[in-house]
């Protein structure tokens, strides 16, 4: 199968923009209530388990069946401890920075970071690849921490536009640089498994700041992530 290339015409995202009727994003922050973390995780799991059991019962499922009896608990633990663990700020990656002693002044790129998230409109998966690049402002970061930053923001109910901006802004904050590029190429199960049922379409989004707004540097970044 021919590799799908990410087009050069992909539009950079501004965190102040709104994205149409289906993807309205008034802020790059995930919308959370002030009391979002007043409740202990164990209590959240108990409450979600109870509510999900009721949903299954409403659907007519027999929860006395061996295959279904543990599902409410499994779903509750998965929501709190795994797929939505990025909502909790205590799970934010603590990135250790290192001095750029080798005076590396070109872009550093980490491409093809696999991510799994969930659409906040239907709570079904979004998955794909994230490509991240930056120019050092005097500091560098361990490569695995870039992956951890991506996973932290992916593990919450999301829209792809917000996820793109959050990763870009976090890279700027952590690295104390204003030169960051982020491209996401993703599949949306809310498009593929329901509604229009299109299993072939993919969605691209991008965040470019500082030097990455220069067309030559942007092209260099995109050419690299499209290379085999």
Provide the annotated active-site residues.
119-122, 160, 188, 190
Beta strand extents in 3-146 (DSSP E only):
97-99, 108-119, 125-134, 139-141
For residue 18, give Cα distances in angstroms to 11, 24, 122, 144, 155: 14, 5, 19, 32, 22
**Cβ neighbours of residue 102 under 8 Å, at least 6 residues apart?**
none
How far apart are the C-alpha atoms of 92 and 144, rounded to whole Å?
14
Quickly tell me which residue has 């696999």 as its tokens. Answer: 114
DSSP 65: S
Nearest to 161 by CA among 29, 36, 33: 29
Cβ contact 105:77 at 8 Å: no
How far apart are the C-alpha atoms of 91 and 63, rounded to whole Å?
33
Dihedral (C-alpha) 227, 112, 30, 97: value to the nearest 10 degrees? -100
Q: DSSP string covering 201-228, please?
A: --EEEEEE-GGGGSHHHHHHHHHHHH--
């Amino acid at each position: 199968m021919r590799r799908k290339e990410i087009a050069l015409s992909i539009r950079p995202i501004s965190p102040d923009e709104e994205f149409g009727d289906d993807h309205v994003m008034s802020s790059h922050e995930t919308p959370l209530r002030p009391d979002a973390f007043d409740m202990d995780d164990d209590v959240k799991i108990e409450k979600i388990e109870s509510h999900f059991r009721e949903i299954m019962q409403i659907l007519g499922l027999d929860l006395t069946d061996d295959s279904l009896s543990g599902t409410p608990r499994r779903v509750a633990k998965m929501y709190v401890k795994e797929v939505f663990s990025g909502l909790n700020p205590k799970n934010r990656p603590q990135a250790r920075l290192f001095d750029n002693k080798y005076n590396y002044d070109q872009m550093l790129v980490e491409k093809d970071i696999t991510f799994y998230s969930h659409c906040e409109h239907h709570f079904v998966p979004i998955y794909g690849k994230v490509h991240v690049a930056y120019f050092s402002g005097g500091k560098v970061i361990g490569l695995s921490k870039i992956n951890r930053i991506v996973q932290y923001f992916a593990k919450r109910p999301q829209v792809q536009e917000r996820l793109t901006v959050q990763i870009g802004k976090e890279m700027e904050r952590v690295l104390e640089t204003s030169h960051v590029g982020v491209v996401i190429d993703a599949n949306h199960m809310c498009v593929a498994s329901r509604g229009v049922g299109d299993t072939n379409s993919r969605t691209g989004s991008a965040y470019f700041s500082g030097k990455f707004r220069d067309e030559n540097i942007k092209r260099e970044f995109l050419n690299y992530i499209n290379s085999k």
